[in-house]
Amino acid sequence: MISWQPIIDDVAREVSPHIGKGKVAAYIPELARVDANHFGMALCTPDGRTYCAGDASIPFSIQSISKVFTLTLALQLVGDDVWKRLGREPSGSAFNSLVQLEQERGIPRNPFINAGAHVVTDIILSRLQDAKLKVLHFVRGLCNNSSVVFDLAVARSEQATGFRNYAMANFLKSFGNLNNSPDAVLDAYFHHCSMSMTCVDVARACLFLCNSGILPESGECVVSPALTKRLNALMLTCGTYDSVGDFAFRVGLPAKSGVGGGIIAVLPGHFSVCVWSPCLNESGNSLAGTAALELLTEKSGLSIF
Ligand code: GLU
């Protein structure tokens, strides 16, 4: 068995020159207030062990990592019908681009760009009453932590400034690809993005992705092994903004990042790992977080390749 703790400790030590390099996302004003010098890492294995370094227990804004949870829930609710309204190809453009949506007549390229997540949120809203809270409870159940909350200051900050998201949701509506009102979809979407979780919470919540869809602690089936394979494939090909190729080249793991500086990555059969450091590289992925994951796969000799 691999001794993870010394590897994680080495990674945290070697990554330290990268911490604070890059830029904190400032387009959501509340996110700009975070201390840029945080770094945390938590790795969970399906046998119930957790290995941590740095600020692994400090909550951060998960932002687009929430797209993994909402897609999982939508797949639970409607299965393959999701793909009637969404593509599954890398976008090759910015996560909030309007141009591609126009060219492709309101069908978002994939569920991990913003427009895709709006459609996923719309699906959940149409199926569940009080969808916002249902998503929160779903995530709490995945990580077995009832103290996960929406950070209302972050949600309100985005509600006040998310003009591009409003444009996109209205655009989707004009193409007939939203059933609910753009305001209702965005209210839920901004709250999902505002979930405040620690690296330990996020890594635990994604253990099912490295365990054939099953929560190891309770034995509960979240999604089938076939859907788990698909979620991981989407993370590999669409999960890290417009640099999925470079990320796969460097890290070699399915992953999803968020503008809060978090990245979740999984190695099916082995581990889920969450890193968090708020400063982002030019593609929008955590700069130190990406470096840490690259070091992790190099030092352990484990990746999907
Ligand atoms: N709430 C953010 C937005 O919609 C999420 C972006 C991200 O983390 O990729 O702009």
pLDDT 10s digits, 267-282: 999 999 999 999 999 9
Is the CB of residue 90 below 6 angstroms from any atom belonging to ligand 1? no
Count other Cβ atoms within 10 Å, centred on residue 33.
11
Q: How many domains does the chain have?
A: 1
- Over residues 154-170, the pLDDT tens digits come to 999 999 999 999 999 99
* CATH number of domain containing 124: 3.40.710.10
Q: Is residue 139 part of a domain?
A: yes
Q: Which atom of ligand 1 is nearest to the CA of 65?
A: 8
Q: Say what the pLDDT of residue 151 is.
A: 98
Does any domain span residue 286?
A: yes
Establish if 305 belongs to a structural domain.
Answer: no
Q: Residue 46: CB within 6 Å of ligand 1?
A: no
Residue 259 lies in a domain: yes
Ligand 1 pocket test, pick from 66, 114, 119 with the greatest ligand atom count within 8 Å of Cβ, gives 114
Mean pLDDT (the chain, rounded): 97
pLDDT per position as a tens digit, 59-99 = 999 999 999 999 999 999 999 999 999 999 998 888 888 89
Q: Is 155 in the pocket of ligand 1 (CB under 6 A)?
A: no
Ligand 1: does its nearest atom lie under 6 Å from the Cβ of 278? no
Question: What would the DSSP string read from start to end of 240-294?
Answer: SGGGHHHHHHHT-S-EEE-TTSEEEEEETTTEEEEEE-SEE-TTSSBHHHHHHHH
Which residues constitute the domain of residue 118? 4-300
Residues with a catalytic annotation lie at 64, 67, 189, 241, 259
Confidence category of residue 7, pLDDT binned at 50, 70, 90: very high
Say if 121 falls within a structural domain: yes
- Whether residue 113 lies inside any domain: the answer is yes
